Structure 1
Amino acid sequence: MMRPLLALLLLHTVAAFECWSCGVFLSAPCADCKGQPKNVTCPNAELGCVSITAENPDGTYYVEKNCVQPEDAEFKQEGCRAFGIRGAVGTACVCKTELCNGGMSTISISTLISGSLLLILRGR
């Protein structure tokens, strides 16, 4: 009696996969989502999540976060790579763990790391 219920619970856990979603922002003021991104349920957990950012020639940013869709052939491999979008070269990152495409932009992370290292070194 418990086995069918357990199997149903496991099936739901495996089938549900979420990514952060925001954009497409064609000219955001920074490389982050405008406002709070939403978590959305993806159609296929094996495909993962994608985050695309690129600096436009005018200093604004192209920003997009979403589930990788089955027709997105260029996003099959996990990891980050240079990606051309709308005449700009940016970064496309694909990850395959739940809600892995959120958080701070690469620019924000590197600024945070640099600032932390500076504080550590000054404290010595």
Structure 2
Amino acid sequence: MSQIYPNGSKSNNTVYNDTATGIVSKIIQKEKGRYEISITDSSDGRQVVDIIPQGLEHLVSDGESIQFDQPLTSNPNVGGFGQGDVEIVLQDPLRVQGLLFFLGSVILAQIFLVLKKKQFEKVQLAEMNF
């Protein structure tokens, strides 16, 4: 799947593929981080220029032999934007123990409130009998 604009051009949120089989003759970095990749077609020797928009990392290098429809850029949708592999940070054990103590005290308070309510209901029932 790739994202395209209504006019048919690709967005910078997709993989750009090679449009010809041949050898990468030069890679030129243009303004604003764009790249022009020139490919010498192996069948007829003509120059094919593929334009890569800004924000994408190209996978090919000068002199590399490439096939038709080979990816020229990495997939920007893998791993998210700017996300690196980092360790998972677990909660501090003291915070977890504090949470368990707090929840235990809330449950205990609720039990005592229910018992007090039952006791009060018994007193009210006894007063009604007089």
Q: TM-score, normalised by structure 2?
A: 0.25
Which structure: larger Rg?
2
Q: Which has the higher strand share?
A: 1
**Higher relative contact order (CA closer than 8 Å, sequence separation 6+):** 1
